[in-house]
Amino acid sequence: MRPVAVIGVGMTKFGEHWNEGFRDLVIKAGLRAIEDANIHGEEIQAGYVGTMASGRLVGQEHIGALLADHMGLTPIPITRVEGACASGGLAFRQGYMAVASGMHDIVVVGGVEKMTDLDVAEVSDILGGAGDQEWELFLGATFPGLYAMMARRHMYEYKTTAEMLASVAVKNHKNGAKNKYAQYQNEITIDQVLKSKMIADPLKVFDCSPITDGAAAVVLAPLDIAKKYCEQPIEIIASAQASDHIALHSRASLSELYATKVAAKHAFEQAKLTTKDIDVAEVHDCFTIAEIMAIEDLGFYKKGEGGKATLDGKTALDSEIAVNTSGGLKACGHPVGATGVKQICEITKHPVNMEKNSRKI
C-alpha cells in the first residue's frame, strides 16, 4: 500500500438551500475541490460519493452516473457509497483505498444530501432507516429516542448531567460562529440549551443536530506526486472501519460506541500514534451525548469523563484537544452524506503535526 494525500478540498455552505438542488450542491463542492487541487478534469480517474437517502429525500438514485454526467467526467467510474451517517466517511475510505492500492492515481471523493425539501416528520422517518427498521423504527423508536436512551444510561452509570450535555452544544456553537460554512453562526448559553423544547428526555432541541442541505468534496493523490499539485499535501496515515449490532437492544452496552472503539484501536495502531499525539478531532455529534461517547470511546478520556471534560473546557479551541472545530454537526449542520467529507475538509485546514513540510491526518 502506498502513501496517499489530500491535495484539494471544497465545500458549499451548509444550511437551507431553497434555490439550489441536489446536483447543484455536489457539483459546486466538487468543482471547488478540483480547482483547489490544481488538476484538470481529464486527470481524474475515479470518484466516490457518499449519500444516505437521496432516493427518498429527492427521488434520485444512480448518483454515480448522475455526477459523472453533470460534471463532465464520463466515462470514468463514480461509485455511490451508503453507510447512514458514515456515508461520506466511507466514500473517503473507498477513495483512499483505491489510491493506496495503486488502482487509481487521482480520485475525487464527494458527499451530499438535500434534506430540507421535506417536512421534519418525513425526514425523521427516513433517517430512522439507519437503525433497525423492523425492530426499532416500525415500533416508533426514531433516533432522538434511541440517543435519549443512551443519554439516560450514561447519566445513570457515570453521573453525567444535563449541563454536561449542554456544554457540548455551547462549545460547538462557539466554534460554528467562526465558520463561514456553518448553518448556525451564533453562540448560545447552557441556560438556553436547558430551557429549549424537550424532544426526547433528556435531549432538548439544542442537544440535536439540524436538518441540512450541503455538499463537500476532496481530491486524493499518491503522496509521491502530490507536491506536483500543491505545496503542502495532507498525508493520510491511517484509516479504519468497524461495525456493531445495528439495533440498540442487541448491543453489549447502551453507553458506549463499540465500533468506534474497535476502529480507533486499528487506526492508532496503523498510525503508530496514541491519543496524546492528537491535537484536533472531528467527531460525530448528531446529539450532544454522541460527542461525549465518541471522545471517550476514541480514547481521549476515560469512560464517564467525557461530559465533565467538555464542561471544564478541555475540548474547546486551544485546549487539551480541540473537538469539532467546524462547529460539529450541531452548529455546522448535518447533511448526512456530506458530513464525513466535511470533517476531512475541516481537519486539513489546521496547521498541526508539522513534519518535513507535510501534514498528517
- For the cut 70, the answer to whether the pLDDT of residue 358 exceeds it is no
- For the cut 50, the answer to whether the pLDDT of residue 356 exceeds it is no
Pull the grid cell for residue 216. 463537500
Quick one: average pLDDT of 86-99? 98
Domain 4-355: CATH architecture, name and number where available: 3-Layer(aba) Sandwich (3.40)
Q: For 313-323, how does the pLDDT look when each residue is reduced to its tens digit (9 = 90+)? A: 999 999 999 99
Residues noted as catalytic: 85, 334
Quick one: average pLDDT of 127-132? 95
What is the per-residue pLDDT for 360? 72
Query: Of the candidates 226, 332, 228, 238, which has an alpha carbon nearest to the alpha carbon of residue 277?
Result: 238
Between CA 258 and CA 298 the distance in angstroms is 10
Ranges 110-119, 151-160, 200-209, 344-353: which has the least confidence: 344-353
Between CA 167 and CA 147 the distance in angstroms is 17
- For the cut 90, the answer to whether the pLDDT of residue 303 exceeds it is yes
Quick one: average pLDDT of 199-208? 98
What is the per-residue pLDDT for 353? 46
Q: Where are the alpha helices (DSSP H) in the chain?
A: 22-37, 54-57, 63-70, 87-100, 120-128, 143-158, 162-176, 190-195, 223-226, 258-271, 288-297, 306-311, 328-332, 336-348
Residue with cell 470533517: 343
Which is it for the CA torsion 134, 137, 143, 146, positive or negative? negative
- For the cut 90, the answer to whether the pLDDT of residue 355 exceeds it is no
Please provide the average confidence, as pLDDT, over all residues in the chain: 96
pTM over 0.85, yes/no: yes
What is the per-residue pLDDT for 350? 82
Between CA 344 and CA 164 the distance in angstroms is 27
What is the per-residue pLDDT for 41? 85
What is the per-residue pLDDT for 351? 63
Q: For 13-52, how does the pLDDT look when each residue is reduced to its tens digit (9 = 90+)? A: 999 999 999 999 999 999 999 999 999 989 999 999 999 9
Task: Give Cα separations from 324 to 46, 109, 243, 251, 346 (angstroms).
Answer: 30, 21, 23, 26, 9
How many of the other CB atoms lie within 10 Å of CB of 45?
Answer: 16
Quick one: average pLDDT of 118-122? 95
What is the per-residue pLDDT for 354? 43
pLDDT more than 70, % of the chain: 98
- For the cut 80, the answer to whether the pLDDT of residue 357 exceeds it is no
pLDDT more than 90, % of the chain: 95
Pull the grid cell for residue 255. 453507553
- For the cut 70, the answer to whether the pLDDT of residue 335 exceeds it is yes
